[in-house]
Amino acid sequence: EGLLEAAEEAGIPLVVNHVGGMFGIFFTDAESVTCYQDVMACDVERFKRFFHMMLDEGVYLAPSAFEAGFMSVAHSMEDINNTIDAARRVFAKL
């Protein structure tokens, strides 16, 4: 939810799908992303910029808009909050 809030604050259209600790980030105006066609309609170039800018912030995500990210009990609340803060800074620049 923190990524969605950060994106919304910056006016960035974003959908985050998740199941358990697995998640996907989609730059799209759509309400949801549920199938192949929805994924293909997303802004892959914006994801690429987001990925590289997050690397510059010290956050490593899956390098493709078509890959999932994973969270686990190894990630602390500090890790999560630092990631959201980094995303907030990146969204402000996208």
Task: Give helix 44-56 / helix 77-93 axis angle, nearest 10°.
Answer: 120
pTM over 0.95: no
Domains and CATH numbers, the chain: 2-93 (3.90.1150.10)
pLDDT, tens digit (0-9, with 9 covering 90-100), for 13-22: 999 999 999 9
pLDDT, tens digit (0-9, with 9 covering 90-100), for 41-81: 999 999 999 999 999 999 999 999 999 999 999 999 999 99
- For CA atoms 67, 68, 69, 70, give the dihedral sign: negative
Instruction: Determine the 3-state secondary structure of 45 from DSSP.
Output: helix
DSSP state of 8: H
